[in-house]
Structure 1
């Protein structure tokens, strides 16, 4: 077992001082803690109160000026995407796609033709789309920040003022904003960004995901964050989800000890296993071939989730079979003989595809998405499976292929038959709908493995939008009802002798990792940066001890009690070592 000193870091909050310290609370992303000065994100331009309308004889000229502004913003974002790597490429490209959107441009032009001033026309058009996205929920709701970022950038171009966003950082700083645009996050100077704090957003937003991949501590949904003055020294604790104003010196010392512990844990490259040798694969979540190559160089046992929708979302047409096969082959070669689980396209409805647009749906989260695309655009699903078969034959390596949004054993059977027809021999499905968890035995009879998507499983189990901050207590992954479904799925896997993995946010939580191991989950997939702490906590327990931690969590009545019970049942010293 990796040795960790008893004096390892603790989270330092207001209760550790004299009671006068101000502590703001939010949702943390990551486990690091930092102390540094605040730099507020530059405010977005506002619609001028006295902006004149557009005279009939000026319509063409104003429309041309606005079109040029859209074009300049799109070109700038694409140039940034070309110079970026990893998840930033997707985010910048998707935001550029919004700046190119024909419907947004058309509505803005129509409002100008009706007499509105250019900035007012832009603001009204974006406002309409933002409302529609928010009502749709899911992925589209997450894109509202991107949409408003486009509005702000275009408005700045129209007004001839600097674009909003993160100012040039002269020293390492804590970047604070109401809702930092993902395009801004993607291009941050990592050497000068200590942490990111936002008043809005969520733990699964683009900004949070990129921050996690970059290893930047992030706390979202922090009320009052934008009231902090530039230069104010704060302590950002991602593990605790807090922002402490004017922290005492010992807070920084505690963070330094925590960083030291993290560094020492990262030196352990052993395969994932409990103290008595029960194996639990520790895998990486990836979205691109570049992600695969970076992750493969780290101490992971493969990839438990390749989000292939990154290949599709910023496209006018579907990527060709050959293009897809080349990407999949590159990812397989990066990991060699290690396990690589490739999820087929998780798009449609709330992740719209330009080349496969679905009719308007009142509730996209319950609509045509994931494997259900086979109902409307079967050629897209077939081409992807063909490309995966091509990659297998080209590399001689065996991908594990799974479909998202499977609800019935019949759907699992259909997908398995289609995949095996392309020569794919390791075929599985996602369990993210309660119906699939409840019928896990029947589904596992049709496929070789399942992987639990804990984020969507929590959303569908608790009937709660992941982005609704006021319902965060319901969407908590520690909800006993969600854990019951995870337990039922893992038990089904044990009965039939097949793998049950977890590739949602739960897998990256060291405490939850012990619970999942105790429930019988066989693999955990997460951002590579989370692997060392998860490896340590799993390794600190025997399988029987992990089962006891799981039983304690399941016996609770609500999410806070479930987490507290699991924490209390951990092996001695583990909670202190990781500041859990």
Structure 2
């Protein structure tokens, strides 16, 4: 690895710049964080119900104090001791990565990269040379990067769990202690932790660990990502109330609502688990295409990040791609790829979907997705700064070259194949007009993301300039509610069920109908089956989510008429908050 050029890690830790493994796997049911006498409320990230005794992960090693300094003639030997321990941990994790499949394997490989990171090891070496023992040198070096990630916030903040895991495993190896992590459970159990590291979740035996619950974490944490792949119910960000539940106590976990219930009647708990299992069977049998019970069609599309993800998603029930996140191909690139190089990557995604529709999003760099060649080095508030379309304001060539590459790749597509292109962070009619012109010069269908509240409020003036729009509910929610969407403390605000967010979506859909412009949704809201019904009732014409989330959405839509969806939408819009919005929507159809 070369020295990192990412704005988020100026001191040299470059593993953080690797592919964002979780953007297409955002949570489907963020809920309010509360606790009652018999239940704890967190953020549900993977639906499903489990009932089993709680077990806590093995404790992390006690962190060392400074202690006596080492002698100067012991520096080389002390650093060699660290290197041997770090290499052993890396080899052990690497072996697990080889055995893991899909995203679990990729996440573990990223953790191995952290253990081998030259910037981190250089910091340890510097500490050892200042006469610190290896264990204390590891703590100090890791603390430096943890502090950087915490200041950066967003996705970087969530990666502190991975850093702490690397630190703890190396310290345990240096001491000859047992590796921290999963407990030795011999019966079905619910795994509890403050937070789970990739090395724990990637190799999880789902026959033993039937659900995951963590105090910390968020919708894009590795716990959530891998839990979704494994299909195990998962609740994160419960807060410290979780500590009240000891190992051995039976709990009922609902991954959709985000609840952990105590003292539940066993017969009722077993019935809830059986009902959930039957629901999963129904979902597994759904084949598409999606439509309500009375025949109203809803196009279900996949979110993809790269050619590999596209090939996997093409085998699902997805009718095409609703969000191709092009920036995720280039997070570690030090310089802008040439047009031909970009075109080859895009061509592979197009090829995977044949003549089906593919919606490409131009670079959404900046904020929590820094790209060395496209991101400003210093911004006070990057989430509200120069990101998305705004990058091209002072670097139009960056946009035109990417559009040239997309058009070049589209030339090889079958006749009639739809290649749509949309820009992120559009806020004004002028921006929409400019971008649409660039697209049409190249024969591309032009669209925009509706994720800035201004774009929803001005939808009637923006729509005539475009061929389609797609609502990014993740950013629309955080901007409308003035709350960081990755903050566990603000999950009650960043819930897409918030009535204010639904009203912005309603405004956009109504404008789309007036101007005959299709309106899609490609944020996390599209993956929530009940919210998908509300979006259908509001007038959304397509939903794009992780491919493995689509069957649950399709199966749920098939059980309702369009009038049911409209009744749910009307009820949700009149609610006082996100939790009430969901409750009133379900009550409107007798659920």
Aligned to 1:57: 73
1:125-153 deviation digits (Å, cap 9, x = unpaired): 33233233223322222222223233223
For residues 94 and 374 of structure 2, the distance between their equivalents in structure 1, rounded to whole angstroms, comes to: 23
Q: 1:186 aligns with which of 202, 220, 225?
A: 202
Is this contact kept in 2: 1:401–1:424, CA < 8 A? no
For residues 262 and 216 of structure 1, the distance between their equivalents in structure 2, rounded to whole angstroms, comes to: 11
Q: 1:332 aligns with which of 350, 353, 363?
A: 350
For residues 299 and 68 of structure 1, the distance between their equivalents in structure 2, rounded to whole angstroms, comes to: 48
Q: Indicate yes or no: 2:270 matched with 1:252.
A: yes
For residues 359 and 92 of structure 2, the distance between their equivalents in structure 1, rounded to whole angstroms, comes to: 34
Q: Indicate yes or no: 2:309 matched with 1:291.
A: yes
For residues 439 and 86 of structure 2, the distance between their equivalents in structure 1, rounded to whole angstroms, comes to: 42
For residues 148 and 376 of structure 1, the distance between their equivalents in structure 2, rounded to whole angstroms, comes to: 39
For residues 401 and 224 of structure 2, the distance between their equivalents in structure 1, rounded to whole angstroms, comes to: 32
Is this contact kept in 1: 2:318–2:550, CA < 8 A? yes
Q: Indicate yes or no: 2:473 matched with 1:454.
A: yes
Is this contact kept in 2: 1:280–1:523, CA < 8 A? yes
- Within 5 Å, give how 1:311-390 maps onto structure 2: 311-315=329-333, 324-354=342-372, 358-375=376-393, 381-382=399-400, 384-390=402-408
Q: Indicate yes or no: 2:279 matched with 1:261.
A: yes
1:104-133 deviation digits (Å, cap 9, x = unpaired): 444333333333333323323332332332
- Within 5 Å, give how 1:475-494 maps onto structure 2: 475-494=494-513
Aligned to 1:508: 527
**In terms of mean alpha carbon deviation, does 389-398 or 90-99 score higher?**
90-99
Shift of 1:368: 3.1
Is this contact kept in 1: 2:478–2:485, CA < 8 A? yes
- Residues 94, 429 of structure 1: alpha-carbon distance in 2 compared, 3 angstrom cutoff: farther
Aligned to 1:306: 324
For residues 163 and 314 of structure 1, the distance between their equivalents in structure 2, rounded to whole angstroms, comes to: 31
Shift of 1:85: 4.3
Shift of 1:520: 1.1
Is this contact kept in 2: 1:427–1:449, CA < 8 A? yes
Aligned to 1:436: 455
For residues 80 and 27 of structure 1, the distance between their equivalents in structure 2, rounded to whole angstroms, comes to: 28
For residues 80 and 381 of structure 1, the distance between their equivalents in structure 2, rounded to whole angstroms, comes to: 40
Is this contact kept in 1: 2:362–2:423, CA < 8 A? yes
Shift of 1:90: 4.7
Shift of 1:383: 5.0
Aligned to 2:558: 539
**In terms of mean alpha carbon deviation, does 84-93 or 329-338 score higher?**
84-93
Q: 2:191 aligns with which of 167, 172, 175?
A: 175
Aligned to 1:282: 300
- Residues 186, 359 of structure 1: alpha-carbon distance in 2 compared, 3 angstrom cutoff: same
For residues 353 and 366 of structure 1, the distance between their equivalents in structure 2, rounded to whole angstroms, comes to: 16
For residues 199 and 317 of structure 2, the distance between their equivalents in structure 1, rounded to whole angstroms, comes to: 29
**In terms of mean alpha carbon deviation, does 61-70 or 120-129 score higher?**
61-70
Shift of 1:460: 1.1
For residues 199 and 293 of structure 1, the distance between their equivalents in structure 2, rounded to whole angstroms, comes to: 35
The Cα RMSD (Å) is 3.2
**SS in structure 2 opposite 1:394?**
coil
- Residues 224, 549 of structure 1: alpha-carbon distance in 2 compared, 3 angstrom cutoff: closer
- Residues 244, 566 of structure 1: alpha-carbon distance in 2 compared, 3 angstrom cutoff: closer
**SS in structure 2 opposite 1:110?**
helix
**SS in structure 2 opposite 1:329?**
helix
Q: 2:251 aligns with which of 229, 234, 238?
A: 234
**SS in structure 2 opposite 1:251?**
helix
Is this contact kept in 1: 2:572–2:585, CA < 8 A? yes
Is this contact kept in 1: 2:365–2:374, CA < 8 A? no
Q: 1:213 aligns with which of 229, 244, 250?
A: 229
Shift of 1:179: 0.7
For residues 288 and 188 of structure 1, the distance between their equivalents in structure 2, rounded to whole angstroms, comes to: 26
Q: 1:401 aligns with which of 421, 442, 446?
A: 421
1:24-76 deviation digits (Å, cap 9, x = unpaired): 33221232112234443233323224743343333344344445555555566
For residues 447 and 44 of structure 1, the distance between their equivalents in structure 2, rounded to whole angstroms, comes to: 54
For residues 568 and 244 of structure 1, the distance between their equivalents in structure 2, rounded to whole angstroms, comes to: 22
Q: Indicate yes or no: 2:432 matched with 1:412.
A: yes
For residues 509 and 230 of structure 1, the distance between their equivalents in structure 2, rounded to whole angstroms, comes to: 31
For residues 230 and 320 of structure 1, the distance between their equivalents in structure 2, rounded to whole angstroms, comes to: 55
- Residues 134, 426 of structure 1: alpha-carbon distance in 2 compared, 3 angstrom cutoff: same
For residues 189 and 378 of structure 1, the distance between their equivalents in structure 2, rounded to whole angstroms, comes to: 50
Q: Indicate yes or no: 2:48 matched with 1:32.
A: yes
1:496-543 deviation digits (Å, cap 9, x = unpaired): 111211111211222212221121111112233433342244334443
For residues 370 and 85 of structure 2, the distance between their equivalents in structure 1, rounded to whole angstroms, comes to: 25
- Within 5 Å, give how 1:14-163 maps onto structure 2: 22-49=38-65, 51-67=67-83, 69-70=85-86, 73=89, 84-88=100-104, 90-163=106-179
For residues 180 and 541 of structure 1, the distance between their equivalents in structure 2, rounded to whole angstroms, comes to: 38
Aligned to 1:5: none
For residues 40 and 360 of structure 1, the distance between their equivalents in structure 2, rounded to whole angstroms, comes to: 41
For residues 354 and 455 of structure 1, the distance between their equivalents in structure 2, rounded to whole angstroms, comes to: 24
Is this contact kept in 2: 1:90–1:314, CA < 8 A? no
Shift of 1:283: 2.1
Shift of 1:449: 1.6
**SS in structure 2 opposite 1:395?**
coil
For residues 408 and 555 of structure 1, the distance between their equivalents in structure 2, rounded to whole angstroms, comes to: 29
- Residues 77, 390 of structure 1: alpha-carbon distance in 2 compared, 3 angstrom cutoff: farther
Aligned to 2:214: 198
- Residues 497, 36 of structure 1: alpha-carbon distance in 2 compared, 3 angstrom cutoff: same
For residues 259 and 209 of structure 2, the distance between their equivalents in structure 1, rounded to whole angstroms, comes to: 17
Aligned to 2:573: 554
Q: Indicate yes or no: 2:540 matched with 1:524.
A: no
For residues 542 and 449 of structure 1, the distance between their equivalents in structure 2, rounded to whole angstroms, comes to: 26
Shift of 1:178: 0.9
